[in-house]
Structure 1
Amino acid sequence: MFPCVVARASTMEMISSGMGGTLSGSIQLMRAELQVLSPLVPIREVTFLRFCKQHAEGLWAVVDVSVDGDVLRPNDGAAAAGYMGCRLLPSGCVVEDMRNGYSKVTWVVHAEYDEAAAHELYRPLLRSGQALGARRWLASLRRQCEYLAILCSNPLPSRGDGHHEAISPVGRRCMLKLAQRMADNFCAGVCATAAQKWRRLDEWRVEGGDQQQPRAAGGEDKVRMMARQSVGAPGEPPGVVLSATTSVRLPGTSPQRVFDYLRDEQRRGEWDILANGEAMQEMDHIAKGQHHGNAVSLLRPNATSGNQNNMLILQETCTDPSGSLVVYAPVDVQSMHVVMGGGDSAYVSLLPSGFAILPDGYSNAVTPDPTSQLGSSPDAQGGGNNINTGSLVTVAFQILVNNLPTAKLTVESVDTVSNLLSCTIQKIKSALQANIISP
């Protein structure tokens, strides 16, 4: 329900199963990884007790509280490097049945965390509460509820303009399932969660010892490079997969403007190497919510680009007031025909790339002074309803650099992917006529 907030969650122990055959009074010991989609913000690992109680007919409370002792940073360097200490003080939600098909949800997040673990580019957003605060949780909940309502409808709605291919409701649900896996893998790659066995390049050891350690061009840390060895499990190609991720701030460029630009198939050729400099054609469009930006699309390069016979682009776009995603992956035509016909999508191989777009945490009431303390705006102090004027954009590519899982990772492969990422950012900057602040 919270794909951009919760990387992983598990119940470690059911301490009490509730009373009277209901979950009222239940207590669970749980563990979760909370994420902000950027390599500059470490994952928050929390272990907490969850208590559920029914206060009245149609009125429930769900409360979490950490069982960790404190938020102090670990002493050893290896643990400290990827640690963002966090402790939940009593947090959670109250859910009330409105008896008209709707629920009223009141959400509270009360937590303390180690701000020094996050890059200063993201500190205003964290302080504003828009990154992992109550507004973020509620926005995600509302968007997912809209998606579930559409998923349960029959038939599933499409754009219906006569220019899209006819796909059965079963085929559309298979496409939505494939797109969800694609988006989940994208998020796992950005934040390097334990769900996928990524290794930072400074941890990557080249067998034989006769090659230098691969690293990003120029030896800088502005682009986080990771790799993993895929053995060809269902849903991903075998070989060495390289992930390149970076985040930048676009002051004065709204998140909505960035989102609208990146999902515009007519301007795709301005930044996407897969488009070969041309526009793309939308073959199918499946709505995922009331906002027209919440959708799964199937894109095809224009006929003049020469590769339209064997490659399509599966894309998922989602947006709410707290942030947006544009995630895509090349897929072969034959596999997509199977999925569109209602076939199993679990065996379709894909490697996702895309963008996570967040507000920068500043408000339009204050023009940030780069020489002053970050977070001096009203929103950065946690108050105000001002519209954010800038964006934080994370760009992430996952690319198969060798189709042999045992192959060595080369410096040339790392440099090629790093340069592709940097070039894409520059093209977007030019198209939006935006300024960029790098880490």
Structure 2
Amino acid sequence: MDVGRLQPLVMAQNKHNENLPHGRYDERDKIKSGGGNQEGTSRNPSQKKKRYHRHTLHQIQELEAFFSLCPHPDDKQRKELSRQLELEPLQVKFWFQNKRTQTKTHHERYQNSKLRVENEKLKIDNMRYRAALSNSSCPNCGGPSMMGEISLEEHHLRLENAHLREELDRVAAIAAKSMGKQVNHHLLSSPSPVARRPLELGVEFGELGEHGESSNDIFRSICGPIEADKPVIVELAVAAMEEMVTMAQMGEPLWTVSLDGTTAILDEDEYFKTFPKDASPKPSGFRCEASRESAVVTMCHINLVDIFMDVNQWSAMFSGIVSRASTTEVLSTGVAGNYDGALQVMIAEFHLPSPLLPTRESYFARYCKQQDEGTWAIVDVSLDDLRPVPTARCRKRPSGCLIHEMPNGFSKVIWVEHVEVDDRGVHGLYKLLVNSGRAFGANRWVANLDRQCERFASAMTANVLVGEVGAITSLDGRRGMLKLADRMVTSFCAGVSASSAHTWTTLSGTGGDDVRVMTRKSINDPGRPPGIVLSAATSFWLPVLPKRIFDFLRDQNSRKEWDILSNGDAVQEVGRIASGRDAGNCVSLLRNANSVQGNMLIVQESYTNSTGSFVVYAPVEIAAINVVLNGGDTDYVALLPSGFAILPDGTAAQGGEVGPGGSLVTIAFQILVDSVPTAKLSLGCVATVNNLIVCTVERIKASLTCESA
């Protein structure tokens, strides 16, 4: 009997195949027969010999063939097999049970052998890692490295170690599943990011990465504090807290009103009179930049403290200002249950959304202290005097915020930002804005905080006007869409900044607007499609007020005027979530009006405040949008965001003496140029993206009746 004759038996298997016990049975067990005596003691040797049956080679071959197609035959199939092979049904049943047990045993032995091999690899890698740590040295002083320092070689060892652990956990999970056992979750480690290898490209560009490395990267050049420095850091933090709280509460003459009447500016002479102990001279080439701002935000004061003291939450909340941040050491966690007295040593990089403006790096201590019931203070102060950093261009004097509890879950925040900075490398387009103090000042921090609190309140609001056109009323859907849009904007800001993690290459544009490009390779990167991604950005000035540009770009009816990829088609808004008080602050779902049957939608977030505006968008598959709207995980939805950042040019802060107010616009595209990560990037792809961004700029200028600069 061949396999073809057995196929109808396999197809006849119903959905309720019995789950037979996994104990081992032998075909030589007792076979019940009609009227036979079942007591072995009453039978003679000849009768006992008849109970044993050895299958013929033909029977075994046919049973093996059927087992490969159906390991769990039902009663009807077993009876048909027994008839065709001249066996008892119980013989067939026991043969299949024994075969399943034998197969599982072989599988377990194979998996155990593989686990032993992986375990040995992991042990060897751990030994290498420990040896590297014991022999490492500080790149600055040449002495033994402190905990928290990771050399490049050690970094690769750690990634390899994590990769081996992940593989071991995966195999262990498979083995445990096959044996029907529960996996011990405390033995499993979370998947680690895949190490990004250098690109092999036809065109040599720097690699774009949110955690990249460069020779002058402050994140690699700074070591953690040594033991002798820790008492000094504590004293410095306590003194900084006292100074910052005093500055937050004082008025004139320490603070004066800016020319536009919106911001409090520090009087340096009064500052040194008030705080003579901190009258250390500014480094050569540095200038003072200080401001104060206050606002009432829709978030509980305790939640704000928790966010500020968690570096990941803090950098995510201020993604438009903080490009990278990390905590090098925690000197104190505070009292049990809160952050009262918590002290951390941190590194952060601050940016504006433009590849033209250099970032500001700072190495500082962050101290949190409860002032009285319902009032908390958080202060940052630079540690450059303890560990000078040659590449640092920004020194924080005591800066931070006072947080006061208010009724109904609101909080009043008073923000003080006081730095000394070397901004001689600032591009000419941004000099007025930076010199005004609005680029990195207190007003920008408070405006970003207010925006994020509004978004959080919107995500938690269950009461939505059902009659609103395109309103997304599902609470899970609203939260999912807001989370997806927040990740999109964060990725846009990180990808367009001049972070030291990025290497931009300049291409000559038209009209003096140079385009900067960079590439990255995406492999096993959740949230991004695999392949070669090209990021292109340019910044330019327009003699138009920011509000006019913002309204033009977010208007669905005018999109066809600038969006070359829309092919001149209009777009329709099919979904909308309000994310702030301003009507322009929202997350939208857009669809091409002439492509109703298409499988793509556009997710767009637009928001505006006094310090800047953004319009960021990304195409997303409809299937992924449906998953998000139904409460699914948003982290694995692939996004390549593009969009616009619109900033005031700084003339208003100068009293309008240099002419009418204008805007600084940054446009950026992220495009997947090849779905194969190992492909080489051609010059044709670069030229295409360059032309795309240049043509978009020209269309915007033409639509806003602007002449080319």
Shorter-chain TM-score range: 0.7 to 0.9
Q: Determine the C-alpha separation between the residues in 1 that align with 2:396 and 2:466.
A: 43
Partner in structure 2 of residue 378 of structure 1: none
Q: Contact 1:25/1:52 (CA < 8 Å) preserved in 2?
A: yes
| One-letter identity of the residue aligned with 1:368 | V
Paired position in structure 2 for 1:424: 696
Aligned pair partner of 2:534 in 242, 247, 272: 242
Q: Is the contact between residue 43 and residue 84 of structure 1 (CA under 8 Å) also seen in structure 2?
A: no
SS at match of 1:122: helix
Alpha-carbon distance, 1:33 to partner:
1.3
Q: Is the partner of 1:345 in helix, strand or coil? A: coil
Residue among 361, 368, 389 paired with 2:658: 368
Shift of 1:97: 1.7
Task: Give the deviation of 1:147 after TM superposition.
Answer: 1.4
Instruction: Map Cα deviations across residues 86-106 of structure 1 (whole Å, 9 max, x no partner).
Output: 111111111112345332211
| Pair 1:173-2:479 in alignment | yes
Given candidates 15, 40, 52, the residue that maps to 2:331 is 15
After superposition, the Cα gap between the structure-2 partners of 1:23 and 1:36, relative to the gap in structure 1 and judged at 3 Å, is: same
C-alpha displacement at 1:344, in angstroms?
A: 2.0
Q: Following the alignment from structure 1 to structure 2, what is the Cα–Cα distance between the partners of residues 279 and 101? A: 42
Aligned pairs for 1:326-337 (under 5 A) are: 326-337=615-626
CA contact (8 A) 1:72 1:85 kept: no
Correspondences of 1:328-347 after superposition (within 5 Å): 328-347=617-636
Where does residue 358 of structure 2 map in the other structure? 42
CA apart distance, 1:390: 1.1
2:520 corresponds to 1:231: no
Distance 1:366 1:402, change over 3 A: same
- Cα–Cα, structure 1 residues 42 and 84, in superposed 2: closer, same or farther, change >3 Å? farther
CA offset digits 1:67-89 (Å, max 9, x no partner): 12499995xxxxxxxx6711111
Change in CA separation of 1:299 and 1:414 when aligned onto 2, cut-off 3 Å: same
- Give, in whole Å, the separation in 2 of the partners of 1:127 and 1:409: 40
Query: Per-residue CA shift, 1:413-433, capped at 9, x if unaligned?
Result: 111101111111111111111
Q: 3-state DSSP class of the match of 2:344?
A: strand
Deviation at 1:45, TM superposition (A): 1.4
Q: Could you tell me how far 1:9 is from its partner in structure 2?
A: 2.1
Task: Give the letter for the 1:362 counterpart.
Answer: T
CA separation in 2, counterparts of 1:259 and 1:221? Answer: 20
Determine which of 251, 260, 271 is the counterpart of 2:551. 260
Which secondary structure does the structure 1 equivalent of 2:626 belong to? helix
Distance 1:248 1:430 in 2: 14
Contact 1:167 1:340 survives alignment (8 Å): no
Query: What's the CA shift string for 1:119-149, capped at 9, x where partnerless?
Result: 0211111111211100001111111111111
Equivalences, count: 391
Number of the residue aligned with 1:105: 413
Q: Which amino acid aligns with 2:642?
A: S
Whichever of the two has the greater Rg, that structure is 2
Report the secondary structure of 2:409's partner residue.
Answer: coil
Identity %: 51
Shift of residue 284 of structure 1?
A: 0.3
Question: Deviations 1:27-70 (Å, cap 9, x if unpaired)?
Answer: 11011111111111122111101111222211221110111249
CA distance in 1, matches of 2:549, 2:480: 29
Q: Shift of residue 216 of structure 1?
A: 5.5
Secondary structure of 2:676's counterpart equals coil
SS at match of 1:245: strand
- Partner in structure 1 of residue 494 of structure 2: 188
Of stretches 135-144 and 17-26 in structure 1, the one that deviates more from structure 2 is: 17-26
Higher relative contact order (CA 8 A, sep 6+): 1
**Does the 8 Å contact 1:84/1:118 carry over to 2?**
no
C-alpha displacement of 1:318: 1.4
Shift of 1:109: 0.7
Which residue is equivalent to 2:662?
Answer: 390
Alignment match of 1:407 (pick from 668, 674, 679): 679
Task: Supply the AA of the counterpart residue of 1:333.
Answer: I
In structure 2, what is the equivalent of residue 96 of structure 1?
404
Indicate how the Cα distance of structure 1 residues 301 and 287 shifts in structure 2: closer, same or farther if over 3 A, else same: same
Rounded to whole Å, the distance in 2 between the matches of 1:199 and 1:158 is 46
Which of 282, 286, 299 is the equivalent residue of 2:573? 282
Change (3 A) 1:114 1:357: same
C-alpha distance in structure 1 between counterparts of 2:347 and 2:688, whole Å? 38
Deviation (angstroms), 1:153:
1.6
User: Over aligned residue pairs, what C-alpha RMSD do you find?
Assistant: 2.5
Paired letter, 1:324: S
Look up the match of 1:210. Answer: none
Structure with the larger helix share: 2
Letter in 2 for 1:109: E
SS at match of 1:348: coil
Instruction: Work out the CA distance in 2 between the residues paired with 1:128 and 1:165.
Output: 40
> 1:158/1:34 Cα in 2 relative to 1: closer, same or farther (>3 Å)?
farther
Corresponding position of 1:5? 321
Contact 2:471 2:576 in 1 (8 A): no
Q: Which moved more, 1:21-30 or 1:137-146?
A: 21-30
Letter in 2 for 1:249: W
Cα deviation, 1:223-258, whole Å, max 9, x if unaligned, reads 11100111142221111111101111112x111111
Counterparts of 1:203-242 in structure 2 under 5 Å?
222-242=514-534
Which structure 2 residue ranges, 5 or more long, are not aligned? 1-316
Displacement after TM superposition at 1:270 (Å): 0.4
> Alpha carbons of 1:52 and 1:119: their partners in 2 closer, same or farther (altered >3 Å)?
same
1:119 corresponds, among 427, 440, 447, to 427
SS at match of 1:121: helix
Alpha-carbon distance change, 309 to 21 in structure 1, aligned in 2, over 3 angstroms: closer
Identify if the C-alpha distance between structure 1 residues 172 and 109 changes in structure 2 by more than 3 Å, giving closer, same or farther. Answer: same
CA distance in 1, matches of 2:639, 2:446: 30
Give the TM-score normalised by structure 2: 0.52
What is the one-letter code of the residue matched to 1:85?
R
CA contact (8 A) 1:159 1:287 kept: no
Shift of 1:368: 2.2
Distance of aligned partners of 1:366 and 1:216 in 2 relative to their CA distance in 1, 3 Å threshold: closer
One of 316, 339, 349 as aligned partner of 1:33: 349
Find the counterpart in structure 2 of residue 208 from structure 1: none
